[in-house]
Structure 1
Amino acid sequence: MKLFGTVALGLVLSAGAALAEYPERAINMVIPYGAGGATDISARTIAEPLGEAVGQPLVMANVTGAGGATGSVAVQNARPDGYTMLFARVGSHSVNPAMKATLPYTLDDFRFVTVYEINPFACAVSSNSEIMSMEDLIAQAKGDGVSYSSSGVGSGLHLAGAMILDAFGLEDAANAATHIPQQGGGAAATAVLNGTADFLCTNTSALAGFVSNGQMRPLMVTTAEPVVGFDAPTAASLGHPELEQMVGWTGIAGPAGLPDDVAAKWGEWMAEAAGDEEFVSQMEARGSIIRVMSPEEANAFIQTQYETFRALVDELGMRIEG
């Protein structure tokens, strides 16, 4: 009995020591969307200050497909030990669950450690387009028709395009406009630039570079106040304040079962990393708002987003059953 007690105590102490050493090796960070999109930009911008806070290398990997679902499933199925984490996004963890009946995961399959970035949406066309305003866009949609690109079927960009056209009076917007899904936000922007699609509605962070160098023309931002760098009217000024609910967010999550101690460490690291002046300056220049949420705040926020988008999906008839 004494020997058993000694061994058991030793195991407990060893387990405690192992936990205290987390992280003792590199951490895999899954980005569920392609290069150049809002999620990729956010993840790679915070990678340096976050890596410094963590004290171990962060191995960034774009695992793309199915509107963010492929990368999300990779993390869902990983061991909940804190060594495989996900840069979750509004599309993968608010819009996807709201739109796809057969999605291979639910919000309960993940433990969020933070949401750290909020950004509005903007609608934009190529600078070569003859569409100069939202009025022009809707007129074309009701006439010859328009097409819009997105980062995939069931993505935030997919819902945003239909939602905004519907708000501006296009009847049966989910079917009246031609949706052209791409593999990620970067590809969605490229589709507009090369003329494959007429417009897209995506996060300001993904459009900022194209707008600043004159490749794209913003038509509207989904905010009450103007966005720096975007010479375009706001949704509120155009009479559609309801579109302000269309915002993007970026957070970090691990698989369900992620230990409390590990989640707490991520909270500390994120608070430090998101306070980095260069990171904040770069993200604000793209129209993002840096706001670090606790795990509790993040989960409540994401649940509200899901409920909002589920109601919109039902209203627009965009639920994907197959």
Structure 2
Amino acid sequence: MKILAKFLAAAFALACSAVAAHAQYPERPITLVIPYGAGGATDIAGRNLASVTPKYVPQPVLPVNRTGAGGVTGTASVANAEPDGYTMMVARVGSHTVNPAMKATLPYSIEDFDYIGVFEINPVVCAVSAESDIESMDDLVSRIKENPGSVSYSSSGVGSLLHLSSPLVIDAYGVEKANEALIHLPFRGGGAAATAVITGNADFICTNSSALAGHIKNGVLRPLLVTTEEPVPGIDAPTVNELGHPELNALVGWSGIAGPKGLPEEVKTKWGEWLQKVGEDEDFLKKARDLGSVPVQMSVQESIDFINNQYEVFRELVVKLGMEVE
């Protein structure tokens, strides 16, 4: 009996230690992959979120930019990572809806991820350099119609929201074959794409408000429109409703948290709790709103439904504009 008692005690202790070890996630720092370059909307959203995680996450959440191929490189690295919760990512409109909608061959699909939740939505702003003689969307559209193939726009790479948004907006203004009427200049990230317009190396950009708000505030970019029903504080531009194009309200960016498919339930539960706390954090909310972003809290299913709907919308537009990429 004594031997049996010792065996049961040892087994119980071992089981308890295993449970305790399992309950310790995270035991080490968590890598948060940002699949686009510094200064863009994805980078800003991810670093804003990571800046407040020390209040709620017991280990550091370390943002890492893994750029390349318009978000594909970093996103694929997460899809192929060990699903242990130590490699997560900022899922983005470009990486998870535009890229799949545009590119026939990708090293991942939107089903290769476990989604925790969408935490931010960003309206799109079209802007030109403050030194440009283009004062309005009418000026921009007139120039494109008069000289098709002479006006350039910058993006964060093939398959990004920036790549699709400019032709989409110009198409809404009645420019035939909008994709062919513009010169696309891809850069490694939204920050570099915005800089190209500021320095005069590209004529205009259509990207998320968070990536341009600082440049607009500093007076180096002139906003021409914003894809919201109501004006956005700090962005002195007419809304698409005011310009007679309410259909462009569907053109928005978003950021969420995702990990490789097969995450343990504990990891998903803890990330869900952390994301909820971050979404209620006053520092996070203030910074997001100051950039013209809209903080949101979506459940896992709401996020999946939202992402799938975005994919369908963009896929339809890609086909219409002839923007499929092999």
- TM-score bucket (shorter structure): over 0.9
Query: What amino acid maps onto 1:160 in structure 2?
Result: S
Q: How far apart are the structure 2 equivalents of 1:7 and 1:108? A: 43
Where does structure 1 lack aligned partners over 5 or more consecutive residues? none
Q: How far apart are the structure 1 equivalents of 2:12 and 2:192? A: 55
TM-score normalised to structure 2 length: 0.94
Task: Tell me whether 1:130 sits opposite 2:110 in the alignment.
Answer: no
1:287-308 superposed Cα distances (whole Å, 9 cap, x missing partner):
1010121212111111111111
1:21-32 paired onto structure 2 within 5 Å: 21-32=24-35
Query: What amino acid maps onto 1:273 in structure 2?
Result: V
Deviates more, 1:44-53 or 1:107-116: 44-53
Q: How far apart are the structure 2 equivalents of 1:158 and 1:4? A: 65
1:93-104 paired onto structure 2 within 5 Å: 93-104=96-107
CA gap 1:228/1:21 in 2 versus in 1, 3 angstroms:
same
CA gap 1:169/1:56 in 2 versus in 1, 3 angstroms:
same
Q: How far apart are the structure 1 equivalents of 2:11 and 2:304? A: 37
Task: Tell me whether 1:299 sits opposite 2:299 in the alignment.
Answer: no
Task: Report the counterpart of residue 146 of structure 1 in structure 2.
Answer: 151
Task: State the SS of the aligned residue for 1:54.
Answer: coil
1:1-322 paired onto structure 2 within 5 Å: 13-144=16-147, 145-320=150-325, 322=326
Query: What amino acid maps onto 1:114 in structure 2?
Result: G
Where does structure 2 lack aligned partners over 5 or more consecutive residues? none
Query: What amino acid maps onto 2:180 in structure 1?
Result: N
Task: State the SS of the aligned residue for 1:16.
Answer: helix
Query: What amino acid maps onto 1:63 in structure 2?
Result: R
Q: How far apart are the structure 2 equivalents of 1:255 and 1:11? A: 30
What do you get for the CA RMSD once the two structures are aligned? 1.9
CA gap 1:8/1:297 in 2 versus in 1, 3 angstroms:
farther
Deviates more, 1:203-212 or 1:268-277: 268-277
Q: How far apart are the structure 1 equivalents of 2:211 and 2:97? A: 19
Query: What amino acid maps onto 2:144 in structure 1?
Result: A
Q: How far apart are the structure 1 equivalents of 2:242 and 2:186? A: 29
Contact 2:217-2:234 within 8 A present in 1 as well: yes
Pairwise CA distance, 1:4:
11
Q: How far apart are the structure 2 equivalents of 1:292 and 1:204? A: 19
Task: State the SS of the aligned residue for 1:186.
Answer: helix
Pairwise CA distance, 1:225:
1.0
Q: How far apart are the structure 1 equivalents of 2:312 and 2:298? A: 19
Pairwise CA distance, 1:88:
1.0
CA gap 1:192/1:255 in 2 versus in 1, 3 angstroms:
same
Q: How far apart are the structure 2 equivalents of 1:226 and 1:287? A: 10
Query: What amino acid maps onto 1:264 in structure 2?
Result: T
Task: State the SS of the aligned residue for 2:56.
Answer: helix
Query: What amino acid maps onto 2:216 in structure 1?
Result: V
1:237-266 superposed Cα distances (whole Å, 9 cap, x missing partner):
111111000000000100000112211110
Give the number of equivalent residue pairs.
321
Task: State the SS of the aligned residue for 2:153.
Answer: strand
Contact 2:70-2:159 within 8 A present in 1 as well: yes
Pairwise CA distance, 1:18:
2.6
Query: What amino acid maps onto 1:290 in structure 2?
Result: P
